[in-house]
Chain A
Amino acid sequence: MELFNSESKKIVSDPINVNNPISLQVLGICSALAVTIRLDQAIIMTLAVVFVLCSSNVILSLIRNYIPTRVRIVIMLSVIASLVSVVDELLKAYLYDMSKQLSVFVGLIITNCIIMGRAEAFALKHGPSKAFLDGLGNSMGYGLIIIIVSFFRELFGAGTITLPDGGAGYVLWSIPDSWYAAGYENIGLLVLSPGAFIILGLVIWVQREFAGVEEDA
């Protein structure tokens, strides 16, 4: 298995950078807007998506030659939905507070276009090892963006930085009271969905600048 040749590297790194599912293809932004209020939520959501996307890609790639074409969408959905349910149940058992905060959005990973999209576009056409790398790259590309967005939303919206800790979250840093006393104020807009749109737009702009992508006119 040629895990670390240049082609494999490209499969992983492309979706993180020049072909990022969120910032370039603008897929999966529903959950990217919803779970980016706090950093710890975004990190757990990223882990959930990494697990679901890598496993669904590998499983579907393994059975790709046996899936009847007519029912492939149903099969893909069943596999993805089952994996998401497993994640949901595990979160409820081991990270109960987090699962309450993420609420419906864990279940909604099923409808995240990135996952169906990678299954249809990649996993059904390539072998399991490549499918795994593709899943890893895309889920990390997704995670990178939502972690960046949530970092700024939480910092400027709520004035804290929270890491996941198994309970209600560990506050790594929060804006000292002296700043508030000196007149600093949190930007309430960032906690709401419009704030997510604004930050996401800025991230997309910066990221496209870096990747050197130009839109066809």
Chain B
Amino acid sequence: MYSNNYTLFFVFIVTVVLGTMLSFTKDSVKDLQDQNLKADVQKTILRSLNFDESLLLSNESIEQTFKNSIDAKCVNVEGEIVDCNIEEVDIEKNVDTLPIYIRMDNDKVQGIALPIAGKGLWSTIYGYIALNPDTDSVLGIQFYKHGETPGLGGEVEKKWFTDNFVNHPIERPDGEIQYVPKRIRDKSGKIISIKVVKGGVDYSKTNNASIHQVDGISGATVTADGVTDFLLEDLLRYEKTLDKIRDYGTI
């Protein structure tokens, strides 16, 4: 039988040794981890803006592509450009400094990526939604960080789910099915966002709203409702900015 003092002493020593080992490890790889994280965010933005996957293979080429083709700045809810340190903006807390990433090609806007974030079931889900220059049709959507259950809510980051937003089937007069992007504005131009619907979108003729709906995830209704809510909320913050881009082609 060991004495209480010995036991306490032993536990103390073990704690100190293991704690030191952990902090040493974390400290020595922190820079690398931060670089990976930064590249991952940039990769998500580039992916949502439909950049070719071959440009996104290494951290270096991601950084290069981002620097060359993306115009990153901040706006406020009135649609005016404001100064900011874009990497430090926390869109969950900041309501009047909104990051916006514009894909430029020959001085023309090719796409606009906006950060989106909000509560799912267990965690905050982070991602980007990209719109075409008409600021209505979706160019792409990507999620990069979440703590949802793998296989259920975690499916939001999967290709089948994100492809929902850019594959709206419409039947052409000759009977062929054509795929067009989903839309975030209604006929009058008001932003009504896109709803994730339980059970799957009703594509029958009677459902006029199907262009504003995407298939939900079975077993993950709370996550899906969360996505619906924060997508609308976040898009509305950019309403004036998006109107400006639609009407004048620039901010």
Contact = CB atoms under 8 A, between A and B. Distances in A.
Interface of A: 34, 66-71, 74-75, 78-79, 82, 85-86, 89-90, 92-94, 96, 100, 103-104, 167, 192-193
B7 to A, nearest CB: 4
Given A69-B2, A96-B36, A104-B150, A86 B10 contact: no
A68 B18 contact: no
B21 interface: yes
Q: How large is the interface on B (under 10, 10 to 19, 20 to 34, 35 or more residues)?
A: 20 to 34
Nearest to B32: A93
Can you list the 8 inter-chain pairs with the closest CB atoms, starting with the nearest?
A93-B29, A68-B2, A96-B36, A93-B32, A68-B7, A82-B18, A86-B25, A93-B33
The residue in A66, A96, A104 that gathers the most chain B C-beta atoms within 10 A of its C-beta is A96
Nearest to B36: A96
B50 interface: no
6 contacts: A71-B10, A85-B25, A86-B22, A94-B32, A96-B36, A96-B40
Given A86-B22, A89-B29, A92-B36, A34 B150 contact: yes
A33 B154 CA distance: 17
A89 B33 contact: yes
Interface in B116-175: 150-151, 154
B155 to A, nearest CB: 12
B36 A93 contact: yes
B22 A74 contact: no
The residue in A66, A68, A85, A193 that gathers the most chain B C-beta atoms within 10 A of its C-beta is A68
B15 interface: yes
Interface string B21-37: 11001100100110010
A90 B57 contact: no
Contacts of B40: 96, 100
Contacts of A70: 2, 7
Contacts of B11: 71, 74-75
Interface in B17-74: 18, 21-22, 25-26, 29, 32-33, 36, 39-40, 57-58
B25 to A, nearest CB: 5
